[in-house]
Structure 1
């Protein structure tokens, strides 16, 4: 889904790549002539190019993953070249996301709550983008409530992971980084899909293999970009409680 069409050794920005010609993947709704509508909907910033942005210093200071700039002052993806340019996300540079990992039960009965994404149809964590003026913990509970109807605002989650996400929308100049936190419940609760989710369900979570198999039995696929986050949750659970 996020396959990069250039050799790994050519990805670093420090390596010269004279013939590099990334594909512009900017969708119609984010092109200059249509940008105003996306801004009015509240999910896109009003800058047609990164050169129009004046608060890069504060953005870099708040970034989950440090990043630098090219000779024109445009932000550079911290993982290197992606073979894609433009932006297919709300912001230029880092787009902060929050991913709640809601686990219920223990041992052989342990399950995790996932949603089926409306954009690409795979099963994923019920997360989303951090809104302006919002903290990652606030975004975690808001996204969970909006996508599954499950309200865990009264619970304290354990932040277990933060970093770059191999999101299918990433480009050289706009990418996703996330903060993920673990919520633990004694038993599964009712979850009803809404907002950006077309379905919500609980899946076996004793191992990554059991999770993938359970998702496959439901006729779907697990979102590859969330595998590292889910694997970290499993490791945290095994080290913390032995459950």
Structure 2
């Protein structure tokens, strides 16, 4: 199910927490066709696990121990989004429970000349941090530089980033039982370098980033839209630099 086809259900703040009883709660199933049980029985996409429901997952103890953001299981043994009810059920991500992502925030220059590298995502057509999901057997630092290289051609494997946070991401694919949590890291360069869009990116652009307002103005002027889920990550990166 695409973001455009998903019905947005607003959850009142007073009912978001799982500890609050809400017998009438009826979330929308956002599972795409390729992840439905009948489809998984014949073919499992390379990016997804084959468990049709969380009940088929056998390593919940390990997953919870390795989680970026702690979460609980309900009485059925299903994972519960630590942000609370989302209005969506099912799975529109590779795994049940936490799906770890890596978001490399690349900023070049200082002062009024400061620039940030963003891509145009091919799934939602928004300007976003050039990140992605952590592959099986991969660490977050490895994923940070791999995703950056794959999507922009910029190789920062020998640069030491500043880890800014390990947080839940307000990703449009999130549901009650499958969600995204990300390791965001800041890479600081003295000047911009050549970036070429590839893989999941339609374009790669260096935008003004002396402030969040300057960035948003530049994105709008280019006829584009900033991905809302990445706004707090970028805001934190700029605040960190302003304090240095």
Q: TM-score interval w.r.t. the shorter chain?
A: over 0.9
The worse-fitting range, judged by mean Cα deviation, of 64-73 and 25-34 is 25-34
In structure 2, stretches of 5+ residues that fail to align are: none
Residue-by-residue CA offset, 1:56-95 (whole Å, 9 max, x unaligned):
0011011111000111000000011101000100000000
Q: Are 1:73 and 2:77 counterparts?
A: yes
The residue aligned with 2:38 is 33
RMSD: 1.4
Cα offset, 1:161, TM superposition = 1.7
Give the whole-Å Cα distance in 1 for the aligned partners of 2:103 and 2:39.
30
The residue aligned with 2:92 is 88
Cα offset, 1:32, TM superposition = 1.6
TM-score (norm 1): 0.95
Match of 1:208 among 171, 195, 212: 212
Q: How many aligned residue pairs are there?
A: 239
Q: Are 1:58 and 2:48 counterparts?
A: no
In structure 1, stretches of 5+ residues that fail to align are: none
Cα offset, 1:8, TM superposition = 1.1
**Which runs of 4 or more aligned residues in structure 1 lie more than 4 Å from their structure 2 counterparts after TM superposition?**
1-4
Match of 2:174 among 159, 170, 190: 170
Give the whole-Å Cα distance in 1 for the aligned partners of 2:42 and 2:204.
30
TM-score (norm 2): 0.95
Cα offset, 1:238, TM superposition = 1.1
CA contact (8 A) 1:30 1:38 kept: no
Closer, same or farther: CA 4–236 of 1 in aligned 2, 3 Å? farther
| Partner SS state of residue 203, structure 1 | strand
Match of 2:23 among 18, 24, 31: 18
